[in-house]
Copies of this chain bind each other. A is one copy, B any other.
Amino acid sequence: MPDESLFDAATAVRDRGLLGGPPDVRAFDVDIDKGWTIGPDKPNGGYLLAILGRAAVDAVASAGGTQPHVVAANVTYVAATSLGPATVEVEVLRIGRGASQARARLVSAGSVTVEAMFTLGSLGRGSDPWWGGAPPVDVVPEDDAAQPPRGIELPPFAEKMALRLDPSSTGFARGTPGGRGELKGWLRFADGRDFDALSLLLVVDSCPPATFDLIATGWVPTLNLTAYIRAEPAPGPLRIRFRVGMVQSGFADEFFEVWDSEDRLVATSTQVVALRIPEGTPPAPG
């Protein structure tokens, strides 16, 4: 593992101090790295959320908050974010005993491109739930899961995140979606960095659209995503499952689950995407 992981370098935030208010807003300089794009010059949404989360954690600490972890995050993707220098503005909304809260926005080329809210708490590593949870998804052993096809140029994001899909989830890549509205597999950072709570904000948006298992479309833009981080993950690979809830009225929702190497459900997310289905189109047979 390198001294500083690629993820940590690419999500670094530099505190510029309070801008003056009201409201009190703290600004951070950030650099949107071309190494985390999913298409030409298009940064992955989870990557942007992780940058905002890091700034929110810093701003809450600067305001006297004691909670080091994002527990809940909501993010609205407003417009395309440009690569290169940008600013994160954080307004701390509450410093509390058990939880603190902040909102954050990414300002890129003079416009708001991402808006988010964070609730911070203190998570345990290896802590088990008092109640509830979900058993880990059944996935073939990591070595038997699909490697990215050789000879195809991968987007930079796919080179950073080693995602290996279960064979049951790879039909979409061959033009034969599975029809179950589900993708599942294994995930690691390609550079060997272990996952921590903050990086789970990236993980919950690290998979191709689950709707690809129902219908072949162009890219499916996320409008709004909510992530819950439940525990610091144990070292090692993660198992993930990404499922479609409903497709209706030009929108779809998708549900993401993440288990650590000790079988704990460590994060979930739910998102709404824009997905217009031409009238009369049948879903893939499931």
**Which residues does A use to contact B, with CB under 8 Å?**
23, 71-72, 74, 76, 78-79, 93-94, 98-99, 101, 103, 112, 115, 117, 119, 121-124, 127-133, 181, 214, 223-224, 226, 228, 230-231, 244-253, 265, 268, 270, 272, 274, 276-277, 281, 283
Contact = CB atoms under 8 A, between A and B. Distances in A.
A274 B98 contact: yes
A249 B121 contact: yes
Nearest to A79: B94
A122 B270 contact: no
Contact of A248 (B103, B230, B283): B230
A248 B252 CA distance: 29
A72 B224 contact: yes
A131 B132 CA distance: 28
A127 B279 CA distance: 13
Given A72-B223, A223-B72, A283-B130, A230 B247 contact: no
A7 B252 CA distance: 29
B76 A93 contact: yes
A286 to B, nearest CB: 9
B121 A247 contact: no
Nearest to A286: B131
Contact of A119 (B112, B121, B223): B223
